[in-house]
Amino acid sequence: MRPFQRTSSLRKISRRTPSGKSKTLLKSRRRNSKTCASCKKLLRGNLRSENRMFGGYLCHRCLSKYIKVSLRGIS
């Protein structure tokens, strides 16, 4: 185990590899909850099936705001 892996923020999972050896797998404990890039609010809904432009990146309010600004031109 390398020095940066000696931390309690990583979860250790023992898995058997296809070759038959058992190895400890390190997985992050952190849940990745995505936030809007503009207003930093949590994004809602299923992010994988989000087909909207900038889906999973901006929230619907910020996106509509940016579309309006881009259509009206920079004032």
Is there binding between residue 67 and Zn ion (CB under 5 A)?
no
**Residue 60 gets which letter from DSSP?**
H
Is there binding between residue 47 and Zn ion (CB under 5 A)?
no
Rounded CA separation 60/68 (Å) = 12
Given candidates 13, 25, 39, 47, which one binds Zn ion under the rule CB under 5 A? 39
Residue 35, CB half-sphere, CA atoms under 13 Å: how many?
Answer: 6
Is there binding between residue 13 and Zn ion (CB under 5 A)?
no
Rounded CA separation 13/15 (Å) = 6
Using CB under 5 A, which of the segments 22-30, 38-46, 47-55, 64-72 binds Zn ion?
38-46
Taking the least distance from each CB to Zn ion, the nearer of 13 and 39 is 39
**Residue 8 gets which letter from DSSP?**
T
> Binding residues for Zn ion, per CB under 5 A?
36, 38-39, 59, 62
